Amino acid sequence: MGMLIAILLGFFGVLLMRRSLLWRQGGGDYVIDKMCADNIQAAANCCASCGTAEVDDVKLKKCDQCDLVRYCSVTCQQEHQPQHEVMCKKRAAELRDEILFRQPESTHLGDCPICLLPLSPSTKDYLFETCCSKIICRGCDIANKLLREREGQLRETCPFCRHPQPKTPEEQDKNIMKRAAANDSFAIRQMGMKCYREGDYEGSFKYLSKAAELGDVGAHHFLGALYLEGKGVKKDYGKAFYCYEQAAIGGHPRARYNLGLDEGINERYDRAVKHFIIAATLGNDDSIQRLKHCYTIGKVSKTDFAAALRAHQAAVDAMKSPQREAAKEVNYPDGKW
């Protein structure tokens, strides 16, 4: 008899739990199922606020900050916000870090479109063509301009698109303006930098914002500087670092290095080291120096430091070629280039 009661209680217990889990409908209103909402909603595909399950005519929308909860309506999302806030912020930060600390495949400059080797991020090793917005390595530039065109007494053209080289800064500006009007993000960034040089910070902010919106990594980096300096826009430390992060995610080694420095200043050494390792792997020399220091003070392990040194060397070697080495020996004859 006792056994039978126990079995029956168990049976009803399961029934009650199922009922509670699945929510029930009464008088047209959904009864909120606490278990569903608080604990198992993610797995059970229920609205985190009211517990409504996802079925054919009910589509749940994920929280726009995290991947932990979903809601059946904006009202539900708003009602649930106070109890979700802390968890949401924590998870959103974790998700952001997953993106931030992913090793980019290459620097934001990518490869030289002529020799197809990775471009060195040092500004003395490349130049850009205003006709086609291509960044050309100095090796290819020298080979084209000095050896092919000067020696053959040919007209100077862009080594990539063969457009005649602009003869004056005005012609150069005209090229840039033409490409910017066609929504070329690189040219729009150049316009922003020109404004900056001329002291028009608001104009600079406008152009850089647009270029960043179009996905230009370099523009994110400069935009960060504007926010930091409060030039053309209200000073905003948070926004400045968000821009630096966007640039770093896009493979900008200097932006990554700066993030590492900032984390180091704030004594978050594990984060600083992660940034320096990523930047070193992209060939950034300064990050290697910082890692050396971190190793000395015991903030990075011997194994990780050795791996970073190897990765850095591999990146530097990949940017070398006989043509690029030869170009280092050549001085631009008239300083024009």
Q: Contact 240/246 with Cβ under 8 angstroms? A: no
115 scored as a contact of Zn ion (CB under 5 A): yes
Binding mask 42-81 for Zn ion (x = CB under 5 A): -----x-xx-x----------x-xx-----x---x-----
Mark the segment that binds Zn ion (CB under 5 A) among 152-160, 165-173, 187-195, 299-307. 152-160
Q: What is the DSSP string of 277-300?
A: HHHHHTT-HHHHHHHHHHHHTTSS
Interface pick for Zn ion out of 140, 176, 191, 327 (rule CB under 5 A): 140
Interface pick for Zn ion out of 33, 125, 129, 263 (rule CB under 5 A): 129
- Taking the CA atoms of residue 240, residue 246, residue 252 and residue 257 in that order, the dihedral angle to the nearest 10 degrees is 50
**Which of residues 167 and 293 has its CB atom nearest to Zn ion in the complex?**
167
103 CB burial (10 A radius; 0-12, 13-18, 19+): exposed
Q: How far is the CB of 16 from Zn ion (least distance, A)?
A: 22
Q: How far is the CB of 49 from Zn ion (least distance, A)?
A: 4
Q: Hey, how many other C-beta atoms are within 10 angstroms of the C-beta on 170?
A: 9
Q: How far is the CB of 263 from Zn ion (least distance, A)?
A: 25
**Which of residues 146 and 228 has its CB atom nearest to Zn ion in the complex?**
146
Q: How far is CA 323 from CA 144, 313, 326, in A?
A: 11, 19, 5
132 scored as a contact of Zn ion (CB under 5 A): yes
Token representation of residue 320: 């070398």
Interface pick for Zn ion out of 21, 35, 44, 114 (rule CB under 5 A): 114
308 scored as a contact of Zn ion (CB under 5 A): no
Phi-psi region of 187 (alpha: psi -120 to 50; beta: other; left: phi over 0): alpha
Residues 193-222 within binding reach of Zn ion (CB under 5 A): none
Q: How many residues bind Zn ion (CB under 5 A)?
A: 22
Q: Contact 138/163 with Cβ under 8 angstroms? A: no
Mark the segment that binds Zn ion (CB under 5 A) among 88-96, 173-181, 218-226, 263-271. 88-96
Q: How far is the CB of 199 from Zn ion (least distance, A)?
A: 30
